[in-house]
Chains A and B, each alone.
Chain A
Amino acid sequence: MASHAKAAQKFARQLFAMSIVDGAVSADRVAGVLEYVEKHNPANPLMVLKAYRRLVAAELAKSIAVVEHAGAINDAMLAAIAASMTKKYGRSVTATARPSPALLAGLRVQVGDDIYESSVAGQLAVLAASV
């Protein structure tokens, strides 16, 4: 069973590699991969598709900056954050806003697995951890 999972992971990575164009996930390529899997029905197709979906989602998350905010935020702020992240990661990053009253005040930006925070709740948590 472990060998099947390894084989499925490896195949999914190969399919994912074929889905990247200019450092970004291409929708056309993803459609082509899905068509191929549907047509050729490889071994353990469910495992392969789940692994492929995880890889694609992780890659897409790297191109989206989720900006959690408490209080008002305008488009200029979002644009500035998106430009900063694009410059930092070297790829196109778009910013989306998500209200989060738990922050009390300030912003928390998540790009993929990276989190950048400047909020009152975060500072209080740091204070509580340091005591």
Chain B
Amino acid sequence: MLSPLIILAQAAAPAADAANNGAAASGITKITHDFGLSLPFFLAQVVNFCVVAVVLWKFAFKPVLATLDERNRKIADGLRYTDEMKAKLEAVQQESAASAKRAQAEATRVIEEARKSAKEFFEKQTQETAAKAGDILAKAEQAIELEKKKMLAEARTEIARLVVETTQRVLSKELSEADRSRYNESAARELTNV
């Protein structure tokens, strides 16, 4: 690629010399002559620069820029992911705090209900126990009353038996034959009227 440029420059150099030599020195040409600015070489350098620029752009700057872009993209993604995670973490923490609060409230409610149930059960058991104790007392009183009546009846029977036995013994000793005869006559009269 450089060879055509060099050939072009070599071909343009005599033409430029002829122009310089042939025409009167103007300001621009004077400046270009003083600073050694040669149009063919300048064009060649421009072309060379463009080629270098294109090559560098294609094979150096572009990959590097791509790499930089990729890196920046990754950094941005990372930062965005971090932000998202932070937001999620905060949301989860808030949710956890709310759940803990709800659980605390529920536990308090359950404890209160259990306390209330225990109190009611205790009162009910107390009443039932008192009623049972009353029943037992009433039954015991009835049993005592029955026992008392039974003992009185037995005592009465025993007393009657002793009285009869004593009377029999006394009469068997005290009754005379005359008394017995009189009683027998009375009994005979009674039995004949049956």
Contact = CB atoms under 8 A, between A and B. Distances in A.
B181 A80 contact: no
Interface string A111-131: 000001011110011011001
A69 B184 contact: yes
A106 B168 contact: no
Given A71-B177, A120-B171, A124-B168, A81 B191 contact: yes
Contacts, number: 75
Contacts of B156: 131
Given A128-B160, A128-B164, A71 B183 contact: yes
A118 B177 contact: no
A101 interface: yes
A77 interface: yes
Nearest to B157: A131
26 contacts: A69-B184, A71-B177, A71-B180, A71-B181, A71-B183, A71-B184, A72-B180, A72-B184, A73-B184, A83-B192, A84-B193, A88-B194, A104-B172, A105-B175, A105-B183, A105-B184, A106-B183, A106-B184, A107-B184, A118-B186, A118-B191, A120-B175, A120-B183, A124-B168, A125-B164, A127-B160
Interface of B: 156-157, 159-161, 163-164, 167-168, 171-172, 175, 177, 179-181, 183-188, 190-194
